[in-house]
Amino acid sequence: MSNGILVICEHDGGVFKKTAFELLAKAKSLGSGSVTALVLGADSGAELGGYGADKVVTVAGDFASHLTGAYVKAVQGAIESLSPAVVLAAASSEAKDGLPRLAARLGLGLGTEVTELRADGGAVVGRRPVYAGKAFVEVQVSSSPALFTVRPNSFGIPTSTGASAPVASLGLSVGGGDALTSVVDTEAPSSTVADLTEAERIVSGGRSVKSQDGFDSLIRPLAASIGATPGASRACVDAGFAPHSAQVGQTGKTVNPSLYVAMGISGAIQHLAGMRTSKIIVAVNTDAEAPIFQHATYGIVADMFEVGPLLKQELEAALS
């Protein structure tokens, strides 16, 4: 019989990502049975008890290479061994790649990129944006387990209670031979800030930064002043002012920060598609009619080259 919620807890060399904490706390709050944390490739996780895990199960193997075959095999093994009613994962690159494959393999339903979860008569119901964020749909998965990927930063990071959870191996080992592909090389990003998809604060620049120097001297310092990750519109990226990895939107990254600062971005539907669920949106634009203002929590009609440095000064003072 299916029971409880299995949360796939991602980590980087044993250091858990914030998404692990927010998913565990959410899973616990749903009151849908026990919460089990699944940890791939590390023999640790007792501290996850402080965020809501009743127990932690680990799978040994090489997951550092982020190979989908290994991920799918491990999660499948965990599902077959634990029979959870619900499986939650952050909408990370790995889960977005692996869970659809697993769903197809096991004939399961998958609710993708939900931003809310609630319990409803024994079932877990997700809510996700559709049509570039113009509408929301509720998703109830009829299979058991029901699979969901959750957009990072949807629920906020809880504070640990300090409790610890028992850690046990699932007795499953996923070797390199389980994956159909192999990694020949890896290159770590030079940036030390959070990836856009997980960032809690983002400062993005549009085409109107005018040059790479404009992006580097206006957007990056403003972002650094509040520990934010720099982002960009596609027009800014296409013009060569910012790298493609910084692009937010339909053909870039989908972000969900607590704070999104849009500097000189018009607010085209394709840009909104990637950032519309941000909790607080601050827009700076010279054009009072720019569409971004319809979605902004705070709007400043001004030249960003004048406002940017002032904003940086004020934010630094407020945070010091």
Q: Which residues bind ligand FAD (CB under 6 A)?
A: 206-208, 233-236, 247-252, 264-266, 268, 270-271, 274, 284-287, 290, 303-305
What is the closest distance, in whole angstroms, from the C-beta atom of residue 89 to ligand FAD in the complex?
24
Q: Which is nearer to ligand FAD, 178 or 216 (CB)?
A: 216
Q: Which is nearer to ligand FAD, 26 or 207 (CB)?
A: 207
Alpha-carbon span 311 to 179, nearest angstrom: 49
What is the closest distance, in whole angstroms, from the C-beta atom of residue 308 to ligand FAD in the complex?
9
What is the closest distance, in whole angstroms, from the C-beta atom of residue 253 to ligand FAD in the complex?
8
Alpha-carbon span 25 to 83, nearest angstrom: 20
What's the burial of 277, exposed, middle or buried (CB within 10 Å: 0-12/13-18/19+)? buried
Closest CA to 86 of 21, 27, 29: 27
What is the closest distance, in whole angstroms, from the C-beta atom of residue 115 to ligand FAD in the complex?
19
- CB-nearest residue to ligand FAD: 249
For 249-276, b/e burial (b = at least 16 CB within 10 A) is beebbbbbbebbbbbbbbbbeebbbbbb
What is the closest distance, in whole angstroms, from the C-beta atom of residue 237 to ligand FAD in the complex?
8
What is the closest distance, in whole angstroms, from the C-beta atom of residue 161 to ligand FAD in the complex?
40
Q: Which is nearer to ligand FAD, 84 or 249 (CB)?
A: 249
Q: Which is nearer to ligand FAD, 7 or 268 (CB)?
A: 268
Q: Which is nearer to ligand FAD, 111 or 252 (CB)?
A: 252
Helix axes 93-106, 68-82, angle to 10 degrees: 60
Q: Which two tokens stand for residue 49?
A: 């008890």
Q: Which is nearer to ligand FAD, 58 or 247 (CB)?
A: 247
